[in-house]
A and B are shown apart, each in its own frame.
Chain A
């Protein structure tokens, strides 16, 4: 008899504050497992964002710093340039990265900063009460779009991975999903590739993880997984959008 799965030492014993069924916990675990497997837990500095993941520094067992809203890539830039031997990552939601932090993420990619960005996209502002985000799907109901997002009034959702893959200095950009165990395995491989990219000094790497927000979406956790698969993946296709030539 042997233990084939147990909680990684990359996570602390602190229980998360996330709602039941929120896939943030899965994203945390993937990052923690990858850092543990790469032997980087004592060599990593994480940059927490603003949003539901604001308290991620309580859950990830690495040194972390809390950044102003959207500015995690700028803070990560400063850290990485000061202590380049450390592994530096940001953990940001879509309300942080795709909205107030758009300039920072584009220019971190533009400069080819050797950092890793974990981008959790749940198509809504979760922490503040389910408002419309730049990533909210057309027709999706939110507290600030009770009739659903109207493209003629609010535009169409921003595709961050596609956008950042166009930046010439970006090195690795992939979109994965957390709605099913099979896809979670693939997501872990993507996170591993992103951190490996940084270890090999290949420059800017980003993994976008499609996630659920059962509370913000007004669905139960299981229906949320189905909603993600049926609605988000058709608009946000999964795949590698940019990879270093050698990989």
Chain B
């Protein structure tokens, strides 16, 4: 573990469910949530495994609808 972790926050109702973020995430943090529909009528992306997030920003960089806000967590032990 590098100690570099992140928490993705998603503006669910801005998402169009294109899944580009899911395809570029190197740690399989994200998934398309087909159990719910957002205000636009799409299946939105959701965070499936937040503990895997390495704050690489790939999802935020490729999202055409700028739904992500990414927080970086500094691990006390990992450094």
Contacts and interface: CB of A to CB of B under 8 A. Distances in A.
The 10 lowest CB-CB distance pairs between A and B, nearest first, are A25-B64, A21-B18, A20-B16, A20-B18, A5-B70, A181-B61, A221-B18, A181-B58, A5-B60, A6-B69
Interface string A1-39: 111111110010001101111111110010000000000
A221 B19 contact: yes
B62 interface: yes
Given A2-B71, A4-B6, A221-B18, A181 B55 contact: no
A181 B72 contact: no
Interface of A: 1-8, 11, 15-16, 18-26, 29, 180-181, 184-185, 214, 221-222, 225
Contacts of B69: 3, 5-7
Interface residues on B, range: 20 to 34
Residue among B14, B60, B73 facing the most chain A CB atoms (10 A cut-off) = B60
Task: Label chain A's interface by main secondary structure.
Answer: mixed
B2 to A, nearest CB: 15
Given A4-B57, A222-B19, A22 B64 contact: yes
Given A16-B64, A20-B42, A180-B62, A225 B73 contact: no
Given A1-B72, A221-B20, A24 B57 contact: no
Interface string B14-45: 10111110011000000000000000101000
* Most-contacted residue by chain A among B62, B68, B69 (CB, 10 A): B62
B66 interface: yes
Contacts of B61: 26, 181, 184-185
22 contacts: A1-B72, A2-B71, A3-B69, A4-B70, A5-B60, A5-B70, A6-B70, A7-B66, A20-B17, A21-B18, A25-B63, A25-B65, A26-B62, A26-B64, A29-B66, A181-B24, A181-B56, A184-B62, A185-B61, A214-B18, A221-B20, A222-B20
